[in-house]
Amino acid sequence: MPVHTSRAAVLAAARAAFARERTPTMADLASAAGLSMRQLYRLFGSRERLLRELDQEPLPDARARILEAAFELLGQSGLADLSMDELAARADVSRATLYRLFPGKPVLFRELIAAYSPWEPIARALEQFGDGDSAERVIPEVARALSEALIGRTAVLLRMVFEMARGDPDTAEGVQRSMVRGLPDLVNYLNREMDAGRLRRMHPLLALQLLAGPLVAHEMTRPLAALTGYTPPRERVVDEVVDFWLRAMAPNDESA
């Protein structure tokens, strides 16, 4: 590979690298220019400065890049097999930076749950309402929050659930954190509505599964459904699932 020594030649090689790959790392850019990482940083000082000269949007900060890369890698393998060295390279950070921000897999998994779990969006949806708000007002917002959290993430979220179910010590802290907001808030809300006689009495987790299950199944099978010509907007699917759920959860004396 020829070595590009002029600034203009390096920029041209970097633009070609961006044309081939959406977010090349500094290592990719250095390789495209035939330079070492040290030489590339000597020419431009920082990645941000190089991106400015290329008219490229800067990458998110290191923490966000690490979480995004870890989320992608977790979808390909389990937490036990996740390589911290590969994660650092994928996120374009040094190993020292990775361990400074996430000192070990337990912390990494905990932060992945905080960043990508649907429970936080559900918690925010519930915060809009008071204790006396009806399920007809609350459940549509909860379902929309869940549906939006699933877009493009279903497979990896299921992998996270699998990791939780394994009971690995690396995931224990993250599992405990996932129980702090969102899930307990929704369970408590459903319990109150059932106690007040406004919803059919059943275990609240089963009621939650009856709401979330169809939304998860639809998101997972959208590509297959599209092959048959069924391509409804997600909003319509959410509305229909909520409508069926509310009718199924009506108190016994009203549903007879």
What 3 state SS string does 201-213 have?
A: CCCHHHHHHHHHH
Q: What is the C-alpha separation between 23 and 26, in angstroms, rounded?
A: 10
Phi and psi, residue 149, nearest 5°: -70, -25
- Cβ neighbours of residue 107 under 8 Å, at least 6 residues apart? 173
pLDDT score of 256: 39
* Sequence ranges of the domains in the chain: 7-53, 62-103, 114-255
Q: What is the CA radius of gyration of the chain?
A: 24
- The shares of helix, strand and coil residues in the chain, as percent rounded to the nearest 5, are 70, 0, 30
pLDDT score of 217: 92
Given this chain, do its domains 7-53 and 62-103 carry the same CATH topology? yes
pLDDT digit of tens for each residue in the chain (256 aa)? Answer: 444 568 888 888 888 888 876 667 777 788 888 887 678 877 887 666 787 788 876 556 788 888 888 888 877 777 777 888 888 888 888 888 899 899 888 888 888 877 777 888 898 899 888 878 999 999 999 999 999 888 877 766 777 677 666 666 766 666 666 666 788 899 999 999 999 999 999 999 999 999 999 999 998 898 889 999 999 999 999 999 999 999 999 997 644 3
User: pTM for this one?
Assistant: 0.64
Q: What is the C-alpha separation between 229 and 237, in angstroms, rounded?
A: 15
Q: Which residues of 167-186 are buried (b: 16+ CB within 10 A; e: fewer)?
A: ebebbebbbebbeebbbebb
- Which CATH number is 7-53's, of 2.40.128, 1.10.10, 1.25.40, 2.30.29? 1.10.10
Q: What is the C-alpha separation between 73 and 128, in angstroms, rounded?
A: 34
pLDDT score of 65: 85
Q: Which fold has domain 62-103?
A: Arc Repressor Mutant, subunit A (1.10.10)
3-state class (DSSP) for residue 75: coil
Q: Which two tokens stand for residue 151?
A: 């877009």
Q: Which fold has domain 114-255?
A: Tetracycline Repressor; domain 2 (1.10.357)
User: How far apart, in Å, are the Cα atoms of 70 and each of 21, 62, 103, 167?
Assistant: 19, 12, 14, 19
